[in-house]
Amino acid sequence: MQIADVKNVDIVIIGAGFSGLYALHRLRDYNVVCFEAGEGVGGTWYWNRYPGARVDIQSVEYSYSFDKELEQEWSWPEYFSGQAELERYANHVADRHKLRDRIRLSTRVVSMRFDEGINRWQVQTEKGDTVKSKYVVAATGALSAPNSPPWPDRELFEGEIYHTAEWPRDGVDLSGKRVGQIGTGSTGLQVAPMLAEQVEHLYVFQRTPAFAMPSGNRPMDPAYERAWKANYQARRRQMLETYGVSMVMELPQFCAHECTHEEQMAILEEAWNSQSAFKMMIAFKDVMTDKAANELVSEFVRQKIRGIVNNPATAELLCPKTYPLGSKRLCIENGYFEMFNRKNVTLVDVRSDAIVGYTRTGLRTTGAHYDLDVIVNATGFDAITGAMSRIEILGLAGLSLAKKWADGPTVWLGTMIAGFPNLLMIHGPMTPGAQAQMLTSGEWQVDFVARIIDEMERDGLCRIDTTIEAERLWAEEVEMCAQHTLHRFTDSWYNGKNIEGKKGGFMIYIGGFPRFAQLCQAAVNDGYKGFIRSA
């Protein structure tokens, strides 16, 4: 169906990633338009097309549940799909559900102002469209605003600079080049081994080493796929009852100290070889809550690194020692540590010798200079709030969202912001975010937001908002959950500390998806507790 009048719609959806696409499908009975900055759909899987980009959750889980026929028809060639396959899947869904007519590609939303007189958002795009809309659903993504550190003299550098999240669609030929890769998070660990195979020399600039375990990727076993498909709906229901919306794993029976040394090593060896990304974090009951248990697991991983990397000094630099395992997103790797045994790879420790600026021919650190043809920034994102903060959003009485969130985001249920009526977020601040499998938890949040909109329309209402008091209660809940875990000891994108000067506390809801979902449902079932709905 074509949108009748694009200047006056019921709903604007921002973003055609996996959540935005599903929102468009779920809300299709309304007059709805979706603005997407990219030239194609797929969000994360459209933008992050760097060599090696791959999901770290099994594709049988990380896939839509709303289309039962698609679930049966689609075959994932590998356990953990690569970017190209995920982008193909997003495009297939857009075509299959005839969503394209309502998507405006290459159209970035730049500002939004709530018009109190008519209870409509005035949404403005970079292309100059102005659209009035009753609701805005922000499916802008938690990891979609790339972060490039603002080192001086960037304009002097005569080579090429790429951010992994803005990798050119046609690829980049790096053969014979001296490449500097900055950043060793999930992205850095995936891209480095791929670059090492192409380039003349790869310099990996590491500020903080990452905990990583071997990826379990392999070609899909048809029997495994059949077993999932035979029982898909029950499995999806079970996933929603797990902490991270993932496949049901056997939970640990013991705390680390309850096991003998031999038992501990056997459990850890099994977790290491499990081909499941997060088994190390649940090897014992207390890995994420007890420092000694965490240190035991951390040291086991360090020993693995020492066993793989030939040069002892390089191995030691690659061993994370300053934060608990799992308090930053645990990475998976495909030959990352082995890569340091190649002659054309050098690890540079920029913790002790920080990068201070670009030069005409490369990068300079406090104590050295590196001659480079290409710089690859795998430097992550202004996460969770970044995409929203880059849009000028003005709510009631012209209140600016950037100002409201200057000291950190405030939200009710991660979904609404007081003073910004009829604006509903998917994967907003203080939702389970990357602590849950984001595709299925995103689908759940879209259904939640759609229910709110459906019930507003059913009840003939014009405005829904939340309160400062509700935001305070949610902040308390988020903080209470975070206090029980070791996450608070680490600087990362979870708390915005990866961005210089970014304020605020822990931005992820760490109480587990089931509790999050139950609190959201309870608030709505309880007469829209924490919301203000008006005619």
* Least Cβ distance, residue 397 to ligand N01 (angstroms): 35
63 versus 498: smaller Cβ distance to ligand N01: 498
- Report CA-CA distances (Å) from 431 to 127, 293, 389, 478, 530: 31, 27, 17, 9, 16
- Dist. CA 506–CA 478, nearest whole Å: 8
Nearer to ligand N01, 350 or 439 (CB): 350
Q: Minimal CB distance to ligand N01: which residue?
A: 185
Nearer to ligand N01, 94 or 182 (CB): 182
Nearer to ligand N01 among residue 145 and residue 411 (C-beta)? 145
Return residues touching ligand N01 (CB under 6 A): 54-56, 143, 149, 182-188, 190, 207-208, 329, 332, 350, 355, 378-381, 434, 493, 498
Burial of 469 (0-12, 13-18, 19+ CB in 10 A): exposed
Measured CA to CA in angstroms, residue 117 lies from 28, 32, 121, 394, 400 at distances of 27, 21, 11, 14, 18
* Nearest distance, CB of residue 82 and ligand N01, angstroms: 10
Least separation in angstroms between residue 328's CB and ligand N01 is 7
Q: Give whichever of 52 and 512 is closer to ligand N01, judged by the CB atom.
A: 52
CB of 151 vs ligand N01, minimal distance in Å: 7
Helix crossing, 261-272 with 291-308: angle to 10°?
60
Alpha carbon separation from 136 to 1, 110, 234, 240 (Å, rounded): 20, 13, 33, 26
Kindly tell me which of 80 and 531 has the beta carbon lying closer to ligand N01: 80
- Can you tell me the distance from the alpha carbon of 433 to that of 338, in angstroms, rounded to the nearest whole number? 31
Shortest Å distance, C-beta 50 to ligand N01? 9
Question: What distance in Å separates the CA atoms of residue 38 and residue 46, rounded to the nearest whole number?
Answer: 7
Shortest Å distance, C-beta 356 to ligand N01: 10
Q: Which two tokens stand for residue 199?
A: 């380039």
CB of 385 to ligand N01, least distance (A): 14
* Cα dihedral: 254, 260, 264, 265 (round 10): -160
CB nearer ligand N01, residue 349 or residue 447: 349
Does an H or E element contain 86, and which? helix 83-96
Q: Smallest distance from the beta carbon of 401 to ligand N01, in angstroms?
A: 23
Instruction: In whole angstroms, give the CA distance from residue 377 to residue 363.
Output: 12
Report the residue number, 208 or 495, with the smaller CB distance to ligand N01.
208
